[in-house]
């Protein structure tokens, strides 16, 4: 079974790329795909770049051209839930597009043609990823990483909101959150690709799960916190979580 491991940015995945055995680089659709083996399992690594369209085309290429039979996303996100802090990990149970709005033709957040606004992740992959995320936050304290010093890291599982918008204001974040809460949705994190990957995987009936480490709080400091976290520790989380997940 070929597993696709997708991230938006190189910094989110570089440790995995270095660990790849029998590595072969293939250029396709303007992207580089790294085919090889991780912990003895066939994988293809890909970087989508940022945003929903880039994520959707990369996902389609992974399935159509590289035969991916299951897909896992690993990367960072902005924390939205009140108790979701920098360094925590959120495993997605569902995704929705917070910027989808075809009212009055369709209900808010509804992607026309689908049953509900939220796309479910594969329950079994999600359960295994959550276990790997829990193991990661339990050991991250021993990494001696200054950025994580003194933090009580936690792993969460729930809804992640995606949109073509980098959220850099607490006000915007609260508005998105409040809006979603009026409809019963409790977003834990926000990012820019997951819902598009979930929708594409639903189209192809390919199991999908996603893990996002919190790089910032999607607030007025996000533009500073995001690059600092991405450059310092994002790849380490990915390596730990994916290694644990592939080996269990
Ligand atoms: N990914 C990481 N942080 C984010 C933010 N603040 N907004 C959107 N996507 C993000």
For the chain, what are the domain ranges? 75-247
Say how many Å lie between the CA of residue 140 and the centre of ligand 1.
22
List the chain pLDDT tens, one digit each, 248 residues. 999 999 999 999 999 999 999 999 999 999 999 999 999 999 999 999 999 999 999 999 999 999 999 999 999 999 998 999 999 999 999 999 999 999 999 999 999 999 999 999 999 999 999 999 999 999 998 999 999 999 999 999 999 999 999 999 999 999 999 999 999 999 999 999 999 999 999 999 999 999 999 999 999 999 999 999 999 999 999 999 999 999 98
Nearest of 37, 40, 38, 58 to residue 49 by alpha carbon? 58
213 closest CA partner among 246, 236, 247, 195: 236
90 close to 189: Cβ distance less than 8 angstroms: yes
Which among 95, 175, 218, 230 is the best mutation to test ligand 1's pocket, defined by most ligand atoms within 8 Å of the CB?
Answer: 218
Find the 78 Cα to ligand 1 centroid distance in Å. Answer: 4
Q: Ligand 1 in contact with 122 (CB < 6 A)?
A: no
ipTM of model: 0.99
Check if the beta carbon of residue 176 is closer than 8 Å to that of residue 190. Answer: yes
Q: Which CATH superfamily is domain 75-247 in?
A: Nucleoside phosphorylase domain (3.40.50.1580)
- Which residue, 208, 185, 207, is CA-closest to 116? 185
CA atoms within 13 A on the CB side of 108: 9
What CA–CA distance (Å, rounded) separates 172 from 177? 9
For ligand 1, mutation pick of 226, 227, 234 (most atoms within 8 Å of CB):
226
Q: Let me know: does 31 contact 9? Beta carbons within 8 Å.
A: no
User: Has 191 been annotated as catalytic?
Assistant: no
Ligand 1 contacts CB of residue 225 (under 6 A): no
Residues 6+ apart with CB under 8 A from 172: 165, 218
Residue nearest atom 4 in ligand 1 by C-alpha distance:
78
Alpha carbons 2 and 62: distance in angstroms, whole number: 10
CB 54 within 8 A of CB 193: yes
86 within 8 A of 224, measured Cβ to Cβ: no
- Ligand 1 pocket, mutate which of 87, 190, 234, 237 (most atoms under 8 A from CB): 190
- Position in ligand 1 atom list of the atom nearest CA 167: 7
Q: Ligand 1 centroid vs 39 CA: distance in angstroms?
A: 30
Query: 158: helix, coil or strand?
Result: strand
Q: Which residues of 48-72 are buried (b: 16+ CB within 10 A; e: fewer)?
A: bbebbebbbbbbbbbbeebebebbb
End-to-end Cα distance, the chain:
15
Is 220 annotated as catalytic? no
């Amino acid at each position: 079974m070929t597993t696709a491991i997708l991230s938006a940015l190189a910094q989110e995945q570089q440790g995995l790329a270095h660990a790849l055995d029998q590595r072969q680089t293939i250029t396709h659709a303007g992207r580089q795909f790294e085919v090889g083996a991780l912990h003895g399992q066939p994988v293809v690594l890909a970087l989508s770049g940022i945003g929903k369209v880039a994520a959707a085309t990369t996902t389609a290429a992974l399935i159509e051209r590289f035969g991916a039979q299951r897909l896992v996303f690993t990367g960072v996100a902005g924390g939205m839930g009140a108790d979701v802090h920098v360094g925590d990990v959120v495993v997605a149970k569902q995704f929705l597009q917070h910027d989808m709005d075809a009212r009055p033709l369709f209900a808010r957040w509804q992607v026309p043609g689908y049953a509900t606004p939220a796309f479910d992740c594969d329950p079994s992959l999600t359960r295994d990823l959550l276990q790997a995320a829990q193991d990661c936050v339990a050991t991250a304290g021993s990494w001696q990483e200054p950025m994580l010093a003194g933090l009580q890291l936690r792993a969460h599982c729930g809804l992640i909101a995606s949109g073509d918008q980098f959220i850099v204001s607490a006000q915007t974040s609260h508005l998105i959150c409040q809006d979603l809460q009026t409809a019963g949705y409790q977003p834990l994190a926000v990012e820019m690709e997951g819902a598009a990957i979930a929708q594409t995987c639903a189209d192809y009936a390919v199991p999908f799960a996603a893990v996002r480490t919190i790089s910032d709080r999607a607030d007025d400091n996000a533009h500073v916190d995001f690059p600092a976290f991405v450059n310092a520790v994002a790849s380490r989380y990915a390596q730990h979580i994916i290694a644990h997940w592939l080996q269990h």
